[in-house]
Structure 1
Amino acid sequence: MTVPASFVVPEGYTLHKENTSAILLPASNDAFLNPVQEFNRDLSVACIRTWGETMNAEKEKKWRQSLERRAKKGEGHKAKKAKTDGNTDTSTVTEPSTEAAPAEGPSEDTAKPQTQPEFRPHGFVILEALSATGLRSIRYANEIPSVKHVIANDLSPAAVEAMRRNVELNDLHEKEEAPAEGTEKPKVRPAKVKVNEGDACALMYNHRMERNRVDVVDLDPYGTAAPFIDAAVQCVNDGGLLCVTCTDMSVLATANYPEKCFSNYGGAPVKAEYCHEAALRLVLHTLATSAARYGRYIYPVLSLSIDFYVRLFVRVYTAPIDVKKVFSKTAVYYVCSGCQSFYEQPLGRMIENTTEKNGKVNANVHFKVQTGPSVSERCPECNSAMHVAGPMWSGSLHDKEFVSNVLSHVEANEDKYGTAARMKGMLTVAKEELDTPFYFTPSKVSSHFHCVCPSLDETASALLHAGHKISRSHACAGSLKTTATYADIHDIFRSWVKTHPVRMDKVSETSPTRVLLSKEAKIEANFKRHPDSVTPSSKVKLVRYQQNPTPNWGPGAKPSGKRKRNEDE
């Protein structure tokens, strides 16, 4: 969108431009919009576009299969009719016709070429429950070709007024167009962004009937999205996309407010260096259990911990058998307060039995309660106390194919995204991530051993030489995900300590470090560079982890009551 050169910015406002869109911001209220969230908006546009292409491809596949079934059914009907006609009595002599035979050449019916039906791409409806300035909704309408319209909602009258102003500025409002030739009645162009003033949950509950559901729901609140999740999982179409942001990381990623974390997300947080991945799993647990109440299940396609918030993209489906599987994808984790090793305790387990009868193989699935506990009350590694975290989601965080498609889209459209470099970096790391819970950093493990820290490459190589898989984690710079247990990781560091001795006079007699060092290494680690220690993301220069873009950056201050009153006046 290009703002006309003749456009004059009204007094008391500033013009903010982002990609294809421009909005007017009240000069007195800078909390209406956070420019740092441009990455969030860019990523959302790319993900929704990719999801839209995937969804249309799925719909086209079903449509073509339906055509084939109808064609086969028609052929079967014709064959049956021909067989019936062949059995009729043909002994009667037919008199020659006195009518003139038609001239040679194609008849009027046969002259017309048979047109094959074409698939019409589905137009999607997006609902943004908490729109504020409307910038996100405006960008969706401008940049996603398959969007039918966007519903932009906010409870604040001042925000709704700002949205209407910005929608009109971007020429996305309902508008009368010149009448077509030969007609006098003007044509009304429907609004591409429909502004609504009201409660977000009430609006979404009004769309929970199947015929009224929307295709994409975007929740981007100030703080937690917990109050809106129940309504959101009900109003999205089958196979639709749910986009969720939570900025309350002081609740999700610390142990300062465990009671608040439980009330919002139904689980206890993790007090360890991998707390940001645990935050993702806590939000996914909330989404999964909320959807399960209505016979629906979630399929995470991309889950990212970014700066001061988490951003998740999940598809929502209706299928009773998959709802049952949520039980076996939920776990409690025992986390050591000393060395931060963790032990997974799944809540349930799924048992699949296959039986063969009359040449047909039938699969029977049974669900059982898991046995436990998976560890004693003291850590097997350092003898420290174990803390309980969760329950939380223990399944996959990403869908590799979806992430790969988003990455390909961004690489092909770098000029369309202001944060393309960072998007490529984070998506590349997410694409490579192992499907295992949590990560560790060599520096943190070294602090537990009171030893010199091996480099990231040396640690990764030692794990690979020992037969384990490794990858980076998008959630923390300098981190590694691995298939190795913490016992295996500690063994590698015990081998490291042999050539890099620890000053035991600096280690307290009661320290967990003494327990860690008192054990003998079960393997002799090899720290020589392994060829697989260099991942594809490290071969090219990518912005994998964000540097501070502006001084004192962050989520910004929430508008005060005084500001709101001034706006209302």
Structure 2
Amino acid sequence: MSSQSSIVVPEGFTLHTENAAHILLPSSNEAFLNPVQEFNRDMSVACIRVYSEEVNREKEARWKRKQEYKAKKAESGSKNKKAKTVSNSAGGTHGSEAHEQDAVEDAGPGQGPSSADSPELKAQEYRPYTIEILEALSATGLRSIRYAKEIPLVKYVIANDLSPLAVEAMKRNIEINGLGPKDDVTPDPSGSSAEPVLKGTHGKQDLGKVKVKVKEGDACALMYNHRPERSRVDVVDLDPYGTAAPFIDAAVQCVKDGGLLCVTCTDLSVLATTNYPEKCFSNYGGIPVKSEYCHEAALRLVLHAVSTSAARYGRFIQPLLSLSIDFYVRLFIKIKSQPIEVKKAASKTSTYYVCTGCQSFYEQPLARTVEQVHERSGNVNLLFKTHAGPTVPERCTECNSVLHVAGPMWSGPLHDPEFVGKVLEHLEADADHYGTSTRMRGMLTVAKEELTFPFYFTPAKISSFFHCTCPSLDDVASALLHAGHSVSRSHACAGSLKTSASRRDVHDVFRSWIKTHPVKMENVSEKSPAHQLLAKEPSFEANFKRHPLSVTPSAKVKLVRYQQNPTANWGPGTKASSGTKRKRDLQES
């Protein structure tokens, strides 16, 4: 019944098909589905699939090493037995009997020493590792259905929602996709008793039998019930309507060591503006940025919230892919447990002083990590120290404007280039399986090359500060490269650049540009930030000759900043109606 042609669409419903999944949407607003979020779901399927394959590859390698160790140990034991037998034969009256008995024990019952049942041939076949996924806020169940149907190494998916209407929608959609009986539900409004978790994670995969297990209850209660180590899951997906902040603490505890946490936050009015700094602090523990790079700051604020939550339980984060997309952010974060890495978290956290005039920023790390090498042994010890500050005077050193404080926020890398590269390889091989593959390719290509240095800029914005004509992106990139700095694009903003250069060096490039493209000073007020910027002489003469590295693979792809509008009115949408008195936000995104 999973094929589209055989699906009977009841009256009052419409059939929505996305890749291999089909769902029935009621005319009433029981569970929210946003068609524009197909890119989010496509990217999630690709990332989780690559993650599952990497985990399986690592476990298979460990399994093979273990088998090799067992074989060598068995071979060594066999040689010792034979040596002992020869010794007994030479020195005792019953040597031949002992040799005969050892040969039988070495070969196994009923077989001689040369039997094919040797340790090398006894090795069992490796059974692929299959992952368990928990989607805490499922709504229509479309995302969970796609995970079950499109990711080969999935054992099962737990799809949860608080609303009885959403649960009914999930049961209906799971049934038409052939992923489980419609009574495969454990109602649990309080979330006090978790569904028994299947023990063990090995087993041959049969896509026809993959089930989406439906749960009805509070998302946090469900995740807290999976806190015990034996009950943890491999992947947790948080995709709420609005902020994911209330669910982060439970999520970082119920994911396995080395597991994957997927987080969506759609509250960019809080994360990417300074309209509600108090709300941003209460949700994410930091103050947002008011600048053109506010969307990157939003990513770093969410990473900071996840990092501090994980650190409380002796865990640390490794961001694999962090994307600012349309009206939301989507992050794929690996959660690991290692005390030494937890101690480094403070060194990867900074506050920033952001200029209100020219948007220059000055980083203030919260702590520093010092390597101490022992003279004799060469061993490296890590010392964790406080950091000196402040890093900047009361006013901006570039334009003398006032500064505002932002953060604390994550100052480490946003992406793992190796992981992003593997997702790109998968996408190239399976582009036909994703409806938004063109945009995925563009985003991933830029993210793979993106520098780890915080914050980007656009030549157009810097030019507006100087009141000058705007140089091309290649001109600015070439000048920075000739000056010895590295550059890259940023996925968060089309036409942007990230660089290892300081903001003063970037401004010096524009000051050099102005020497051949003069500014009409009569139009610049003496009290304006532009006058302060123009009053300084450049510390070096920029070379705008085209640099061979200014054009990278990311410069050749089309960066689709916004998904094509699927309907006349699209965006975050309105929250779904609830089937209980305890209303909550629902979204399938």
TM-score by length of 1: 0.91
Shift of 1:74: 3.3
Q: Does structure 2 conserve the Cα–Cα contact (< 8 Å) formed by 1:469 and 1:482? A: yes
- Equivalent residues of 2:7, 2:176 under 8 A apart: no
Question: Structure 1 residue 253: deviation in Å?
Answer: 0.4
Give the Å deviation of 1:529. 1.4
Q: Equivalents in 2 of 1:15, 1:377: separation in Å?
A: 60
The answer for the alignment partner of 1:10 in structure 2 is 10
The residue number in structure 1 matching 2:198 is: none
Question: By how many angstroms is 1:376 displaced?
Answer: 0.8
SS at the partner of 2:549? helix
The equivalent residue for 1:493 is 510
Task: Give the match's secondary structure for 2:379.
Answer: strand
CA contact (8 A) 1:25 1:32 kept: no
Q: Determine which of 102, 119, 126 is the counterpart of 2:126.
A: 119
SS at match of 1:405: helix
Q: Return closer, same or farther for 1:505/1:84 CA change in 2, 3 Å cut-off.
A: same
Q: CA RMSD in A?
A: 2.4
1:125 is paired with a residue whose SS is strand
In the alignment, residue 331 of structure 2 is paired with which amino acid?
L
The verdict on how the C-alpha distance between 1:94 and 1:458 changes in structure 2, with shifts beyond 3 A counting, is closer
Which whole-Å deviations, capped at 9, do the CAs of 1:507-527 have from their partners, x for residues lacking one?
112101111111111111111
Aligned to 1:133: 140
The answer on whether the counterparts of 1:430 and 1:473 sit within 8 Å (CA) in structure 2 is: yes
1:158 maps to what in 2? 165
Match of 2:318 in 1: 299
SS in 2 for 1:5: helix
Distance 2:506 2:20 in 1: 48
Within the candidate set 506, 521, 524, 1:504 is matched to 521
Letter in 2 for 1:379: C
Q: 1:353 Cα shift? A: 1.4
Match in the other structure for 2:562:
546
**Structure 2 residue aligned with 1:392:** 409
**1:22 maps onto 2:22 in alignment:** yes
Q: CA deviation at 1:119?
A: 1.7
1:38-60 Cα shifts (integer Å, max 9, x gaps): 00000000000000011111111
1:535 is aligned with what amino acid? T
Contact 2:171 2:182 (C-alpha < 8 Å) held by counterparts? no
Question: CA separation in 2, counterparts of 1:378 and 1:36?
Answer: 43
Q: Using the alignment, how far apart are the partners of 2:577 and 2:125 within structure 1?
A: 54
Q: How far apart are the structure 1 equivalents of 2:130 and 2:88?
A: 51
User: Secondary structure in 2 aligned to 1:395?
Assistant: coil
Amino acid at match of 2:305: T
Instruction: Tell me the alpha carbon deviations over residues 219-260 of structure 1, each in whole angstroms, 9 at most, x when there is no partner.
Output: 000000000000000000111110000000000000100000
TM-score by length of 2: 0.88
- CA shift at 1:108, angstroms? 5.1
Partners of 2:22 and 2:563 lie apart in 1 by 26
Query: Is residue 342 of structure 2 the alignment partner of residue 335 of structure 1?
Result: no
Aligned counterparts, 1:274-293, within 5 A: 274-293=293-312
CA distance in 2, matches of 1:210, 1:192: 23
Unaligned stretches of 5+ residues in structure 2: 98-109, 184-207, 585-589
Q: Which residue of 2 aligns with 1:417?
A: 434
Partner of 2:481: 464
Structure 1 residues 108 and 69, CA gap change in structure 2 (3 angstroms):
closer
* 2:532 alignment partner AA: V
Unaligned runs of 5+ in 1: 98-106, 177-188
Query: What is residue 201 of structure 1 aligned with on the other side?
Result: 220
3-state SS in 2 of match to 1:519: coil
Moved more, 190-199 or 154-163: 190-199
Change (3 A) 1:328 1:565: closer
Deviation of 1:32 after TM superposition, in Å, equals 1.4
Identical pairs, percent: 66
From 501, 520, 539, the counterpart of 1:484: 501
Q: Aligned match of 1:382 in 389, 395, 399?
A: 399
Q: Which SS does the other structure have where 2:471 is aligned?
A: coil
Where 1:17 maps in the other structure, the secondary structure is strand
Aligned partners of 1:175 and 1:190 also within 8 Å? no
Helix, strand or coil for the counterpart of 1:343? strand
Change in CA separation of 1:486 and 1:30 when aligned onto 2, cut-off 3 Å: farther
Give the number of the structure with larger relative contact order, counting CA–CA contacts within 8 Å between residues 6 or more apart. 2
Report what 2:256 is aligned to.
237
Mean CA deviation greater in 548-557 or 426-435 = 548-557
The DSSP-based 3-state class of the residue aligned with 1:444 is helix
* Structure 1 residue 546, shift from structure 2 partner: 2.4
Aligned to 1:32, the other structure's residue is in SS state coil
Equivalence for 1:449: 466
**1:265 positional shift:** 0.2
Structure 1 residue 64 displacement after superposition: 2.0
Q: How many residues matched?
A: 543
- Farther off after superposition, 324-333 or 530-539: 530-539
Cα distance change, pair 40–170 in 1 and its aligned pair in 2 (3 A): same
Q: Residue 396 of structure 1 contacts residue 435 of structure 1 at CA under 8 Å; is this kept in 2?
A: yes
